[in-house]
Structure 1
Amino acid sequence: MSYDLYEAIADGDLDKADQIISSGENIYFVTENDKWTYLHQIADTDDVPVDSIRFLLEKGLDVNAIDSYGNTPLLYAVRQRNVEGIRLLLENGADKLIEHENLEGVSALRMGFDSMPLNYEVFDLLLQFGADPDVKKDGWKTARQMLTVIAGIPKSIQDLFAKY
């Protein structure tokens, strides 16, 4: 994976990214061990411009690619609380795997509980696109049940879950 290409995309310098690709860099490269694509990397980057995610989708990168940890770009975008990135991924097919769980058994909706402070917009988008707050996994609480065991859940998020 080219650091220069990654950096150009992460910085939103898409003209430079296009130049690097035109010079022969493979935008479809997948890392050998982690099975990361540029879309995984960018979705897991703090404060990445949504245009960078759009750029990769327009280049044809797989919105539902699963890495060696079982994570999709959507799971990484949720972890980063990138609301516009989440929306773009969902609008471009990530909703097909909205209930997908990584190797640790974590779905996008459950991943929303992993980053504090909790983000209302993240949960709202996931629920709007069909995430089921009542999916039960052996030994795990449902996302709805998580509301009762995590201290300090904002009332707005509790009210949001009550709608679904």
Structure 2
Amino acid sequence: MSDSTPATKALQKGKVDFTLLHYDYDHDAERVGLQAAEAIGADPSEVFKSLMIELDGKPVCAVVPSDCEVNMKKLAKALGGKHAAMMQPVDAERITGYKVGGISPLGQRKRVRTALDESAMVRGLIHINGGQRGLQIRVEPKALVAHMGCVVADLVR
């Protein structure tokens, strides 16, 4: 597994400090984020999953704790839209350039508006996908927000 992905390159280019964690990805896991948390020995509320969503027909990314579900109404409101729905996996892969289970909010093929759940901001460090299955990035949420310019809002149920 390579440590160099579009996600890690984006952080390096932006001079954002981060640490990489490798783990054995379980293709059969029912909930990928929870499996990643267990594999790296982190609390599931510190491991954030990247969900690709269609908001009023346009792609957006929601980054929420792996032990939570995104609230589509809250996401739509946070990004100034009306209707949000999960994107089909094939569309998410085409837009991001990543495989499902390895989608990172960073370094996507097409840059999309991103919202980060506000719970990240009370943590010193969070984990996000590193752009491939079995790779997590540990990063300060404030640095991530500054680098990405993402919206921070209450996004979960």
Q: TM-score, normalised by structure 1?
A: 0.22
In our comparison, the structure showing a higher alpha carbon Rg is 1
Q: TM-score, normalised by structure 2?
A: 0.22
Higher relative contact order (CA closer than 8 Å, sequence separation 6+):
2
Normalized per residue, the structure richer in helix is 1
Normalized per residue, the structure richer in strand is 2
